[in-house]
Amino acid sequence: MSHFYFGRKGACWAFNLKGHVGSCVWRLTSRSGFKWEYPLLLWESPLTNLSASLGCGRRSRAHSRPSQLICSLLRGTTQHFLHPPKMTAPPNLSHAAPQQQRFLVLFDFDETIINESSDDAVVRALPGQHLPDWLRNSYREGHYNEHMQKVLVYMAEQGVSEDSIRSAVEKIQPSPGLLNLFQYLHSHQQDFELAVVSDANMYIIETWLERAGVRHLFRKIFTNPASFDNSGCLMLLPFHSHSCSCCPENMCKQVILREYLAGRQKERGGAPFQKVFYIGDGANDICPSLALGPRDTAFPRRDFPMHRLLLERQQSQTAKFKANVVPWVSGEDIVDCLKKIMEER
Of 318, 211, 228, 326, the residue nearest 275 (C-alpha): 326
Query: Any catalytic annotation for residue 285?
Result: no
Please give the Cα distance from 168 to 172 (Å, whole number): 7
- Sign of the Cα torsion 325, 332, 214, 156 reads positive
Query: Any catalytic annotation for residue 333?
Result: no
| DSSP letter string, 284-298 | GGHHHHTT--TT-EE
Residue type at 177 in one-letter notation:
G
| Residues pairing with 301 in the sheet | 328
Please give the Cα distance from 281 to 289 (Å, whole number): 11
| Residues pairing with 141 in the sheet | none
Burial class (CB in 10 A: 0-12, 13-18, 19+), 289: buried
For 7-25, give the secondary structure using H, E and C: EECCEEEEEEEEEECCEEE
The residue from 110, 191, 285, 333 that is catalytic is 110
Of 40, 38, 51, the residue nearest 87 (C-alpha): 40
Residues marked as catalytic: 108, 110
